Structure 1
Amino acid sequence: MAEFDTIRSRGAAVSQAEIDQGLRAHMNKVYGTMSIGMVITAAAAWAISGLAVTDIPGGVPLRPGTYLTGLGETLYLTPLKWVVMFAPLAFLLFGWGALMRRGSAAAVSLGFFIFSAVMGVSMSSIFLVFTPYSIVQAFLVTAIAFAGLSLFGYTTKRDLSGMGTFLMMGVFGLLGVMIVNLFIQSELMMNVIAVVGLLIFAGLTAFYTQAIKSEYVAHAAHNDQEWLDKAAVDGALSLYIAFLNMFQFLLMFLGQQE
């Protein structure tokens, strides 16, 4: 892991004060961009869920007094639901890397915000399944846990880079189990997935935070603002994904359904 001393030893290029000030500004941009993405996701999910249901009889009944609209049926009951569900993952696997390599900082930011909106559409069904109290509770608990884990990743002197590969292997293994469980619908397996997923993304929150900090320090002397702007959005995306996954797994495990 790159440490502050590595840059400071380079001498005249970048002063300690400049590194410290630049790092604070960089992290503020990471968290700020992530927060905007979260707001976009929440707004998109809430708006779509509101358009997907009605109290006017005639559509597919969701629960007593509530029916799916035409939009709701299309999003949740037709094959389009698979597109909505896997579109964010497909973008992360096949689109984000290319955008980071070839796109400008502005294009990368726009891509992140569009991704956040699509993620909101993908997550909109939680407003139809879980009670508002459960959703707010899970969000607040996640926010508190995320803040503590990210602070740990930022301040710890322990090198967390070794756990990154292990955690990412866990992510792909967990994804495979989740896909299998889409078809077998095992409640026990769902609970296990929720607990394991929560632990994995808790670890990734600390790991990503330290990686963002280390990456900035390693490149601070280059003074490439375009690269730093793109790196801030990339870091925001990593933390955004960790937060949303912690939230969803916590909601799966503790949330009360309507």
Structure 2
Amino acid sequence: MAEYQTVRTAPGVRTAEIDAGLRAHMNKVYGTMSVGMLITALAAWAISGLAVTSDPSATGIMIREGEYLSGLGAAIYTSPLRWVVMLAPLAFVFFGWGAMMRRASSGAVQLAFFAFAALIGLSLSSIFLVFTDYSIVQTFLVTAIAFSGLSLWGYTTKKDISGWGSFLIMGVIGLLVAMVINMFLGSPAMMFAISAIGVLIFAGLTAFYTQDIKNTYVAHAAHGDQEWLDKAAYDGALSLYISFLNMFQFLLMFMGNQE
């Protein structure tokens, strides 16, 4: 009789364990992403402060009345180094992250994520020289509210949205091509359209990635490979971090007030 009761209750117990593990896993994803966002914000703010000086003899490049680019600012924003700053995060995502997920320990993957967040802060620091602090904070809060709602929907919906992935990734590729073309055209109308479409694409990716993180955990939790699950949490945090960051930047095109 005792054996019979064990067989009867084991599936329920196992489900409860997976549910508890899933909650812990999602908390780790969101927690890691939040720390990454904080690192990015602090790095961007600190670097933007070092990039500005009141001494006109530093570089002679005025950005606002009474404010000039420092030597560091000129190196980051006007020299060929700006291409390294812009392209290094892309190189990391496309070429470095996958290799680390396969070969590195979970601790090394976590450190790599935080290093990536700091690198993004370096490339994002110029927004503090262009937009007012108030509009940056306002846009960040709007993005946080929208992101939370979209991610919650992706987590709770019973609808299978796995088919969105390939369509949305194709949209990202098209968006990148359009942005490169507009670098030469300089069309405000095209930039407006790119920003609007970009917000929609990364809103969809936020919900898609959240459901994918959930489904991936449930599919692999029974194997008990904690090292892999830890790395999967950092991988999920990176996906959601990138979605949030892009939503923020595209929304800033609409909501940001320039200095």
TM-score with structure 2 setting the length = 0.93
In structure 2, the partner of 1:132 is 133
Q: Distance in 2 between matches of 1:155 and 1:143?
A: 18
Tell me if 1:255 matches 2:256. yes
Q: Measure, in 2, the Cα distance between the counterparts of 1:117 and 1:184.
A: 31
Q: Once the two structures are aligned, what percentage of the paired residues are identical?
A: 71
Structure 1 Cα separation of the partners of residues 185 and 73 of structure 2? 24
- State the one-letter code of the partner of 1:33: T
Counting only pairs closer than 5 Å after superposition, residues 23-102 of structure 1 correspond to structure 2 as 23-58=22-57, 59=59, 60-102=61-103
In structure 1, give the amino acid aligned to 2:79.
T
8 Å CA contact 1:164–1:207 kept in 2: the answer is: yes
1:113 aligns with 2:114: yes
SS in 2 for 1:62: strand
1:161 matched to 2:165: no
Partner of 2:192: 191
Task: Give the equivalent residue in structure 2 for 1:241.
Answer: 242
Q: Secondary structure at the match of 1:128?
A: helix
Q: Which runs of 5+ in 2 are unaligned?
A: 1-9
Report the equivalent of 2:227: 226
Amino acid at match of 2:25: H
CA distance in 2, matches of 1:250, 1:164: 22
Secondary structure, aligned partner of 1:160: coil
Mapped to 2, the partners of 1:256 and 1:180 lie a distance apart of 25
Q: Give the whole-Å Cα distance in 1 for the aligned partners of 2:216 and 2:201.
A: 22
Deviation at 1:195, TM superposition (A): 0.4
Partners of 2:13 and 2:164 in 1: how far apart? Answer: 30
Deviation string 1:69-123 (CA, Å, 9 cap, x unpaired) is 0000000001111110111111111111111011110111011011000000010
Which amino acid in structure 2 is aligned with residue 218 of structure 1?
A
Q: How many residues of Structure 1 are paired with residues of Structure 2 in the alignment?
A: 248
Larger relative contact order (C-alpha < 8 A, sep ≥ 6)?
Answer: 1
**8 Å contact 1:44–1:121 — kept in the other structure?**
yes
* CA apart distance, 1:182: 2.1
Structure-2 separation of matches of 1:103 and 1:33: 18
1:171 corresponds in structure 2 to: 172
* Deviation of 1:14 (Å): 6.6
- In structure 2, the residue corresponding to 1:157 is in which secondary structure? coil
Letter in 2 for 1:139: F
Distance in structure 1 (CA, Å) of the matches to 2:172 and 2:248: 15
Q: TM-score, normalised by structure 1?
A: 0.94
Q: Name the SS for the 1:56 alignment partner.
A: coil
Structure number with bigger Rg? 2
SS of 1:159's equivalent in the other structure is coil
